[in-house]
Structure 1
Amino acid sequence: MDLLSSIALYFVLWWLCLFIALPIGVQSSHEAGEHVEAGNEPGAPTRPKLLIKMGIATILAFVLLYLVRLGLSSEWIKNYWS
């Protein structure tokens, strides 16, 4: 797998991991019992913790990319498909 393919795959994996991590630990204003002002959505998250979730997505995408590259370079996969 060349560098450009690895970067493209990492980009896709990162977004997938981010979308998986986004709903984890989210609490809405209504669930937290906070007062919701007029015009605000009661289902909006109070503290989404986006930087932590982006860090989780970054680490998880690196691990998944490593596993994909390891799987593609292994002899077991090559022998299975041929």
Structure 2
Amino acid sequence: MNLTGGIVLFAVIWFMVFFIVLPIRFRSQEEAGEVVPGTPPSAPADAQIGKKARITTLIAIVLWAIIATIILSGMITLRDIDWFNQLG
């Protein structure tokens, strides 16, 4: 895995984790009792995007380190996941 591959792997992991973290502790404006005019009642009352981004980054770093270690150590190679013999 080269530098570009590592960055792409981290970005993919980060966004996957972010989409999992986003709905955690979600509270809509309707549940909070204060719907801002012009927004749907299901809009978040307090999204806490910064906090969720920090949590996502910490989780993504741990997952990336584990996956990168597995890839770089050679425990799993392309030959191991070539189930249909497409690599020759």
Q: TM-score range by the shorter chain?
A: 0.7 to 0.9
Higher RCO (C-alpha 8 Å, min separation 6)? 1
Between the aligned residues of both structures, percent identity stands at: 37
After TM superposition, give the deviation of residue 26 of structure 1 in Å.
1.1
Distance in 2 of aligned mates of 1:76 and 1:38: 55
Report whether the alignment pairs 1:16 with 2:51: no
Q: Which has the higher helix share?
A: 1
Superposed CA RMSD in Å reads: 1.8
TM-score for the superposition, normalised by structure 2: 0.77
Aligned mates of 2:54, 2:26 — CA distance in 1: 16
The number of residues matched between the two structures is: 79
Runs of 4+ in 1 over 6 A off after TM superposition: none
Report the Cα distance in structure 2 between the residues aligned to 1:52 and 1:67, rounded to whole angstroms. 23
Distance 1:38 1:49, change over 3 A: closer
Deviation at 1:75, TM superposition (A): 5.6
TM superposition shift of 1:59: 0.9
Query: 1:44 matched to which residue of 2?
Result: 43
Give the TM-score taking structure 1 as reference length: 0.82
Q: Secondary structure at the match of 1:64?
A: helix
Distance 2:17 2:52 in 1: 9
**1:47–1:37 distance in 2 versus 1, CA, 3 Å:** closer
